[in-house]
Each structure stands twice: as structure tokens, then as C-alpha cells.
């Protein structure tokens, strides 16, 4: 059974230090993944000092935030200018693609999206997504075909834009399996590949959660996956640095369980328009303090997807 890996890269530290380590480790284990890059400015300081990102696990101490980002990066945008990821890290991003990994866009300013997207108006949303596409094009010389919403935050207009802007698929929500999203009875012809498994920071927040038992806890859940899909979300700032040994234990354990780590696109059906049509809703996910986009129930079976706008 395939197990897809989504790896978010939102900071300069993650890009410079976490990404090379992840590429080396995944390549060594013959494991695929999709890397989603933020391509605007690294506003890491806001994670501690300015904007409380709604997707962050509630009750996380400031010390854990510092451990995630490092001390120096938390001054970006406060004590000195925020680095431009597309300029400072373009070469590093291209080495990921050249190593054979699928690449997509995580937005321009990932933290700004995570904080503001849920309540943003269409003009703000359109400008943010278009800027992300343009900056990605400057790095890779082509448009991104995959989009991931930072913190699984978004709005109705953003979902509609995933179709209008030509994405092959998006990974904007939490859920159970790939589907075609429906919101307010509107069909959107851009498949969603949701994150289905808990993240390591969510497991750390559970009672008894500790770095020493994270891999065992998650492997227990993937030993018998049932009928759903397996999609794990990692980030270069955690799984590429402090929690890299845990992530490697997971990759080894998943392969021993018979799972094949792969990019998200490999979970799509040959005909994506034949995927189940499910509502997309806003709600709470276990271990997360704020509402986010979630896969809802199956929509009416007799709706013709060809009628979608």
C-alpha cells in the first residue's frame, strides 16, 4: 500500500539545513515524497512574537517554538530583514527536483497565509496565490502543479482558485482519502489529497507523548490502515532537524509494514474526475486548537461533475 509524504518547507533554516538531510535520508531508503516550498519571505519571528498561527498545537511552550525554528531565525522580520526564500534558496529548491522528488508550492509567505487565509476576502486570496505561482515560476521556470495550504487553512475562494489556476491537485485539508471537493453545492475540479495521519507535534501533545515513543505510536496506527489512504505531513524545520531520527524510524518502519513512501500525486486515480465527491468543511482536528479545512461527507451521487464551474 502506498503511503504519501508531504514535506512543508516554510523557513530559510528548514530549506538550508533540513531539506538536504531529508533528501539524503529519503534517497537512501528509496522513498518518494512531495516537497512544498514557501517562496516569499521568511517571517519566522511572527511565530513567536507577532501572529499566533492558528494551526499550531495549543499549549506549546515558547521553548518548543525556539527549538523548532532556532534562535537566530526568530529575528527575521523583527531585528533584521526577512530573507527572500525564492532568492536565497532557489538553487536548493531545484536540487530537490533534480533529485527526483515532486515539488509544489506552499504559498509565498506561509505564516501570513496560515494566520489570515481563513477570513481573507477574494482580492487578498487571489493576490496571495498569484504571487506564490509567480515566485515559484522564477525558481523552477514553470508553474506549480500542486498546492498545499499552510496549516490546512483556506477559504472558499482559495478552493475555487485551485481549479482556475490550473493545479493538478491540492493538499489543503485533513481527511480520509483523495476526493473532489464540494463547497456550498459547488463542485471544484481540482482533486484534494488530504493529510490523513497525525503529525509528530500532535502526537507530542498527546498524554504520554515523548520523542522516544513517537515512531512506535504512529507505526501502531499504520499497521492496519483500514480502507482510508495514508498521507503523512512533515516539515523541514522539525522532521528535517530535531526529529529527523524519528522520521527515519518511521520511513524504515513503514517499509517493513509493506508501505511504499511516495509523492502525493501517486494517490490520485487514473481519472481524477472519478474520485468520490465530498463536501469540504471547516472544523476541528484532534490535537489542533483552531478550526481548519476538513473532508466532509460524500456529496450527492447523481451530481454531474461536468457541470462544475
Above 70 in pLDDT, residue 62? no
Residue 292 lies in a domain: no
Task: Name the H helices within 48-199.
Answer: 62-69, 85-88, 90-98, 110-116, 122-140, 156-164
Answer yes or no: is 287 within a domain: no
Looking at residue 300, what is its pLDDT? 77
Residue 247 lies in a domain: yes
Q: In what order do the strands lie in the sheet with 186-187?
A: 186-187, 180-183, 277-283, 292-298
Q: What share of the chain has pLDDT > 70, as a percent?
A: 85
Based on the structure, what is the number of domains in the chain?
Answer: 1
Mean pLDDT, the chain, integer = 87
Contact 224, 201 (CB under 8 A): no
Task: Give the pLDDT mean for 67-96.
Answer: 73
Q: Which pLDDT does position 52 carry in this prediction?
A: 52
Residue 27's domain comprises 2-173+203-266
307 falls within a domain: no
Q: Which of 236, 225, 215, 294 is nearest to 260 (CA)?
A: 225
From the list 173, 143, 169, the residue with the least C-alpha distance to 55 is 173
What are 99-136's pLDDT values in tens digits? 999 999 999 888 889 889 999 999 999 999 999 999 99
Q: What percent of the chain is predicted at pLDDT more than 90?
A: 69
Q: What is the mean pLDDT of residues 151-160?
A: 95
- Does a structural domain hold residue 309? no
Task: Decide if 299 is inside a domain.
Answer: no
- Structural domain includes residue 55: yes
Q: How do 277-283 and 180-183 pair as beta strands?
A: parallel
Domain harbouring 107, CATH code? 3.20.20.370
Tell whether 184 is covered by a domain.
no
Greater confidence, 208 or 47?
208
Residue 65 pLDDT exceeds 50: no
Q: Which three cell numbers stand for residue 132?
A: 506564490
Cα distance between residue 173 and residue 282, in whole Å: 9
* pLDDT greater than 70 at residue 301: no
For residue 76, pLDDT beyond 80: no
CB 21 within 8 A of CB 27: no
Query: The whole model's pTM is what?
Result: 0.89
Q: How confident is the model at residue 152 (pLDDT cuts 50, 70, 90)?
A: very high
In this prediction, residues 8-30 reach a mean pLDDT of 95
Amino acid at each position: 500500500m502506498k503511503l504519501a509524504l508531504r514535506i512543508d518547507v516554510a523557513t530559510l533554516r528548514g530549506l538550508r539545513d533540513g531539506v538536504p538531510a531529508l533528501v539524503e535520508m529519503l534517497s537512501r531508503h528509496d522513498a518518494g515524497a512531495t516537497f512544498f516550498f514557501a517562496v516569499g519571505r521568511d517571517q519566522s519571528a511572527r511565530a513567536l512574537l507577532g501572529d499566533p498561527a492558528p494551526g499550531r498545537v495549543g499549549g506549546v511552550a515558547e521553548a518548543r517554538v525556539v527549538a523548532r525554528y532556532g534562535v537566530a531565525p526568530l529575528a527575521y522580520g523583527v531585528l533584521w530583514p526577512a530573507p527572500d526564500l525564492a532568492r536565497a534558496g532557489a538553487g536548493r529548491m531545484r536540487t530537490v527536483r533534480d533529485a527526483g522528488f515532486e515539488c509544489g508550492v506552499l504559498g509565498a509567505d506561509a505564516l501570513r497565509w496560515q494566520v489570515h487565509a481563513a477570513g481573507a476576502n477574494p482580492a487578498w486570496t487571489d493576490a496571495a496565490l498569484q504571487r506564490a505561482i509567480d515566485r515559484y515560476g522564477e525558481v523552477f521556470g514553470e508553474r506549480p502543479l500542486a498546492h498545499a495550504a499552510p496549516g490546512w487553512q483556506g477559504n472558499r475562494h482559495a478552493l475555487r482558485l485551485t481549479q482556475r489556476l490550473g493545479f493538478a491537485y491540492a493538499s489543503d485539508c485533513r481527511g480520509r482519502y483523495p476526493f473532489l471537493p464540494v463547497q456550498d453545492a459547488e463542485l471544484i475540479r481540482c482533486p484534494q489529497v488530504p493529510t490523513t495521519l497525525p503529525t509528530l507535534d500532535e502526537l507530542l501533545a498527546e498524554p504520554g507523548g515523548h520523542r522516544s515513543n513517537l515512531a512506535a505510536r504512529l507505526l501502531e496506527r499504520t499497521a492496519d490502515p483500514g480502507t482510508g489512504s495514508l498521507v503523512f505531513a512533515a516539515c523541514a524545520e522539525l522532521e528535517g532537524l530535531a526529529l529527523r531520527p524519528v522520521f527515519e524510524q518511521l520511513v524504515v518502519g513503514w517499509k517493513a509494514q509493506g508501505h511504499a513512501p511516495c509523492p502525493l500525486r501517486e494517490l490520485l486515480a487514473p481519472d481524477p474526475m472519478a474520485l468520490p465527491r465530498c463536501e469540504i468543511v471547516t472544523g476541528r482536528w484532534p490535537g489542533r486548537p483552531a478550526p481548519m479545512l476538513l473532508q466532509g461527507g460524500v456529496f450527492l451521487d447523481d451530481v454531474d461533475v461536468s457541470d462544475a464551474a
